[in-house]
């Protein structure tokens, strides 16, 4: 397979549903076009923001096939393949690879505290498939903390592992510590909604994977930073940091608020989030609209 390097803003895609809760293929295609028009450098499917824990295996295949077809090679497509067991994860990885994924993202099995077993999990995945692997460091959801020293073993024993997505706060320090522990052999992506994106780039991050509803802002920060215009990248980032912060503080309702935003921006037809899920109240939506207006952004 031709390996496409992941870099820059690899947006974590939402999974659009109809008002009745079915996967909305038409809206998924529309959303992917919206991301590409925003200038993203990659698309990541079936992450936490994509409600991966709420879709069936049949729906996973529909989502991945649709995305690979719609993106049509214009940017790399990464597919989230996390699962509680190694056998299941390998099945997800192989199916994603067969459908044309450029990379897969895998978090540790939930609540697996034995890091030797976590490393073995990744080794077995690497033995089973040649597709590049993103190790998802996501302790809030998995309950598994991966110290920087863990990634030394990843470099030595997991040949397909090329990237790490860091979600453990503070991400800024962890970017530096993983970079030091691995001698820079893994490319690092920030997350957490983009709250520390500029600082992560300063520490040597390759980019970011997040579902922030104005991806064009992060694209512009990245492109200015990599063009050597760091002062301008910082100014632009800090200008819109209140909006990034507003999304990030919503926690588990982040999916809902982002779906509401993308619906207002015309990218998807419905803001439906599959149950169980909290709703976004009218006051929160009003505050979001006020902030968007204050920052001079158009909903579209």
Binding-site annotation: residue ranges: 209
Q: Find, among 69, 31, 78, the residue nearest to 208 by Cα.
A: 78
Closest CA to 57 of 18, 89, 12: 89
Question: Do 94 and 102 contact (CB within 8 A), yes or no?
Answer: no
Confirm if 211 and 254 have CB atoms less than 8 A apart. Answer: yes
The binding site for pyruvate consists of 209
Q: List phi, psi (to 5°) of 271.
A: -100, 20
Alpha helices in the chain (DSSP H): 25-37, 57-71, 86-98, 115-128, 139-142, 150-157, 171-182, 197-202, 215-226, 230-248, 254-264, 282-294
Contact 51, 80 (CB under 8 A): no
- Dist. CA 151–CA 125, nearest whole Å: 16
CB 73 within 8 A of CB 79: no
Cβ atoms of residues 81 and 96 within 8 Å: yes
Residue 23: strand pairing partners = 17
């Amino acid at each position: 397979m031709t390996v496409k390097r992941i870099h820059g803003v690899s947006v974590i895609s939402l999974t659009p549903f109809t008002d009745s809760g079915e996967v909305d293929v038409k809206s998924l295609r529309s959303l992917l076009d919206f991301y590409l028009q925003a200038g993203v450098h990659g698309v990541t499917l079936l992450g936490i923001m994509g409600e991966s824990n709420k879709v069936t295996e049949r729906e996973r295949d529909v989502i991945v096939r649709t995305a690979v077809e719609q993106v049509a090679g214009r940017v790399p497509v990464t597919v989230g393949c996390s699962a509680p067991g190694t056998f299941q994860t390998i099945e997800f990885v192989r199916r994603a690879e067969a459908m044309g994924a450029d990379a897969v993202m895998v978090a540790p099995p939930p609540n697996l505290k034995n890091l030797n077993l976590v490393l073995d999990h990744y080794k077995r995945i690497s033995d089973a498939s040649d597709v590049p692997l993103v190790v998802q460091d996501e302790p809030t959801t998995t309950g598994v903390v991966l110290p920087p020293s863990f990634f030394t073993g990843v470099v030595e024993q997991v040949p397909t592992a090329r990237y790490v997505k860091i979600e453990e706060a503070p991400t800024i320090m962890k970017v530096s510590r993983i970079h030091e522990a691995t001698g820079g052999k893994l490319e690092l992506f920030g997350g957490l909604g983009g709250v520390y994106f500029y600082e992560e780039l300063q520490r040597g991050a390759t980019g970011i994977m997040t579902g922030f509803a104005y991806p064009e802002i992060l694209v512009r920060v990245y492109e200015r930073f990599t063009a050597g215009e760091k002062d301008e990248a910082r100014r632009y980032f800090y200008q819109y940091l209140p909006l990034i912060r507003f999304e990030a503080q919503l926690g588990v309702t982040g999916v809902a608020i982002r779906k509401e935003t993308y619906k207002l921006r015309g990218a998807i037809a419905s803001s439906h989030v599959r149950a169980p899920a909290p709703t976004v109240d009218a006051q929160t939506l009003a505050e979001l609209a006020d902030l968007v207006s204050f920052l001079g952004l158009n909903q579209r």
